[in-house]
Amino acid sequence: MIEKRKSWMSLLAISDQNDLLNLWDQKKIKISYEWLRQPEIGSIMAQGKMGVTGDKFNIGEVTITRCSVKLDCGTIGHSYVQGRSKRKAEISAVCDALLQTKMFKEVNENIIIPLEKIKKDKRDKILSKAEATKVDFFTLVRGESD
């Protein structure tokens, strides 16, 4: 369960807000909930490692929006999403809550799976373009060999 939840929360966090909002608006899920924490814009400090494997150091910050909601059934949903869209954070938290309820199938099929496809297509496109720029070396032999 935790692994699944990590996976959908991560996907919602990095999804393009327009993609998420479009899918959500298309589905027209009627649901009522209350705020546990209103959307809040802030940042996290990204850390890297010196020389790939060494000690940590700070690279710079990334904007993040977070919020928490509670459905009428009592299920709590959280979100920490990239960027400054309060609406994206809100929908992500509601999805997180719904995915823990009987609504799992509906939300998974209509929101999560399409977002996964968008992510995979985007990555596959990058990998396939990068592959096309792979260098094939050939060596020129200079001078005479005995």
Is there a contact between 19 and 115 (Cβ–Cβ < 8 Å)?
yes
- Residue 137 is a binding residue for another protein (CB under 8 A): yes
Of the listed pieces 23-31, 36-44, 104-112, which binds another protein according to CB under 8 A? 36-44
Tell me how far CA of residue 79 lies from CA of 16, 23, 66, in angstroms: 14, 17, 5
Residue 104 Cβ, how far from another protein at the closest point, in Å? 18
- Give the DSSP H/E element, type plus range, for residue 82: strand 76-82
Does 6 help bind another protein (rule: CB under 8 A)? yes
Nearest CA to 78 among 67, 63, 88? 67
**143 in the Ramachandran plot: left (φ > 0), alpha (ψ -120 to 50) or beta?**
left
| Residue 108 CB, nearest approach to another protein (Å) | 17
Residue 133, CA atoms < 13 Å, CB-side half-sphere: 5
Work out whether 142 is an interface residue with another protein (CB under 8 A). no
Closest to another protein by CB, 28 or 53: 53
Positions in 41-60 near another protein (CB under 8 A): 41-60
Q: Is 18 one of the binding residues for another protein (CB under 8 A)? A: no
Residues at the interface with another protein (CB under 8 A): 2, 5-6, 9-10, 13-14, 40-64, 66, 68, 78, 80-84, 123-135, 137
